[in-house]
Amino acid sequence: MNLLLALLCCNTCGLLKDKLNENSPSPRIIIVGAGAAGIAAASRLLENGFTDITILEAENRIGGRVWSIKIGDYLADMGGQWVHGEKNNVAFELAWPLGLIERFDENHNFSVRFFGSSGSALSLKTSLNLVELHNSMTNDLADVENLPESFGQFADMKMDKFFKAHKEISPDLYDSLRYMTNLGQMASDGADNWYEVSAKGLRDYAICDGDNSINWKNRTYSTILDILMKKYPNPDEELPVLENVYKDSRVIKINYNKGYNTVKISTADGEEYLGDHVIFTPSLGVLKANYQRLFSPPLPEKKVEAIKNLGFGHEAKILLYYENPWWYTDENKYNSKGIYWTKADREEIENDPERMWMLGLFALYPVEHKPKMLCFWVSSDFSIEMELVPEEIFRQQILQVINKFFSNHYNITEPTKIIRTSWNTNENFLGTYSYRGIESDLADVDYTDLAEPIMRNNKPIIQFAGEATSEHYSTVHGAIDSGWREADRLINLYPRKNDLLKLLTRLTEKKNK
């Protein structure tokens, strides 16, 4: 037993790593990516006695698309922001008992109004009717016998019917409001427009029942990482996840040639790592851009078809911090503001490459528990163009947009900070979240094809996790689910070793005491 304890205590030593094989106490597991999926997988494995874990992270931080930064008085989410649903939602199940999250309507009286680029605005009643229409669209898919190919075709029919029933809306606004609603839907689905989104995919999506806009109060979604690592609520119970993370380690090659008993991973900084199992968690955007040169030998045909034909979208946030907020008419009211471009303004901007990205703007809303902050949402590939605009020009453009839409209705003040996201032009993400498109239907692929591991001798050697591999794709809880799924795959593969590792861990803890 002393020998086993010695081996366990030396599990990070290079000599042991070189000699480790399938009969060793702990297999070598390499996790590519320290986002929600990677952190979830590592935490689950460590909690179950696995000790030889290496996490390679391309960024200089953990979290992936879960990331918060300090802006003014607040921590603010640059990526995932809300917990979507309650039932069968692991993020909700982890955070709710700790009192960390809040249902949307608990402290907010929802209101929304739509403002036009002409300086006019729709009435509050008409605005709320539009919101009700939008919210009902996906639910109504379940009642349609013969679904159209794209969600956009279905949405057009719903909006045509809506306009006929609401004579108070001027016909010259039909296209503008349809365009705005399209952008709003894409904030959920991630595609460039709703004609790319599968109607069948939306109908069959595994929505978690309950409130779908649950906020983190004064915290941010990054708290979920601390919960996963057991750092919260009791720091004394923290798992050694961070000790195994190698930051600034972008993977450039994964060699799983049959001539090797292990998988060899190479990183951009010239390092090489050997593993018995690899859990690959980077975004579908990264896979789309790099799968051909990343994997050797090439991935199986079905996997490639999934990578090529599953959709991966482009969204962005613009966070504005004000020392003197201007948007309150009732300080207890959550007053969101939709925006729509008139036909003339849209045509003018379409001919101006420097301003064209503005056509992706569709909503400006206050951020819960951050009374000095507003967030602009940018949908579709316009968000890519937004990220490329030089900083000073970008700032002036934002101020111009706010004045154009709202100066007739509010006494506008100037923000002290304007921060924008850059998920779409960052080579480590290349987008935001996945969706099921009509191309996915035509190729007959879905998230399960992306999640399928590559096997050798009845063992998974390369496993795939991340939100795009989950039935809850496009969400943080889907990413966590997928990380646990792949960790459990290995836990179930090594049941006897796992029991031994747990015993050795307990003996080591007892000895240390």
Partner residues linked to 367 by β-bridges: 370
**So what's the pLDDT on residue 2?**
38
Tell me the mean pLDDT in the region 111-127: 94
- Under the banding of pLDDT at 50, 70 and 90, the label for residue 321 is very high
**Tens digit of pLDDT for each residue in 185-206?**
999 998 999 999 999 999 999 9
- 497: confidence class by pLDDT, cuts 50, 70, 90: low
Answer for the pair 326, 412: CB distance below 8 angstroms, yes or no. Answer: yes
Pick the more confident residue, 102 or 510. 102
Q: What is the pLDDT of residues 460-492, one digit of tens each?
A: 999 999 999 999 999 999 999 999 999 999 999
Is 381:277 a contact under the CB 8 Å cutoff? no
Average pLDDT of the segment spanning 134-145: 90
Beta-sheet strand order (sheet of 333-340): 109-116, 333-340, 361-367, 370-379, 315-321, 417-420
> 139 or 53: whose pLDDT is higher?
53
The pLDDT, as a whole number, for residue 8 is 35
> What was the pLDDT predicted at 140?
92
Other beta carbons less than 10 A from residue 231's beta carbon:
18
pLDDT digits (tens, 9 = 90+) for 345-375: 999 999 999 999 999 999 999 999 999 999 9
Residue 280 has pLDDT above 60, yes or no: yes
Residue 5: which pLDDT band, with cuts at 50, 70 and 90?
Answer: very low
- The answer to whether the CB of 34 falls within 8 A of the CB of 245 is yes
Angle between helices 284-294 and 301-309 (to 10 degrees): 140
Judged by average pLDDT, the poorest of 93-107, 278-292, 410-424, 471-485 is 93-107
Residues 6+ apart with CB under 8 A from 328: 335
Mean per-residue pLDDT, 332-355: 89
What is the per-residue DSSP string for 137-201? HHHHGGG-SS--SBHHHHHHHHHHHHHHH-TTS-GGGHHHHHHHHHHHHHHHH-SSSTTSBBHHH
For 458, residues 6+ apart whose C-beta sits below 8 A from its C-beta are none
Which of these ranges, 14-28, 124-138, 440-454, has the smallest mean pLDDT?
Answer: 14-28
Is the per-residue pLDDT at 3 higher than 70?
no
Per-residue model confidence (pLDDT) at position 145: 86
pLDDT for position 258 = 83
Strand locations in 22-125, DSSP E? 29-32, 53-56, 68-71, 74-77, 109-116
- The residues, ordered by sequence, that sit 6+ positions from 35 with a Cβ below 8 Å of its Cβ are 62, 63, 64, 65, 66, 281, 282, 466, 479
**For the residues 298-326, what does the mean pLDDT come to?**
97
- pLDDT (tens digit per residue) in 62-78: 999 999 999 999 999 99
What was the pLDDT predicted at 148? 95
The whole-number average pLDDT for the span 91-113 is: 89
Show the domains of the chain with their CATH numbers: 2-8+27-65+222-310+430-512 (3.50.50.60), 97-213+315-420 (3.90.660.10)
| Residue 398, C-beta contacts closer than 8 angstroms, at least 6 positions apart | 318, 320, 376, 415, 418
pLDDT higher than threshold 50 for residue 222: yes
Report pLDDT for 19.
Answer: 29
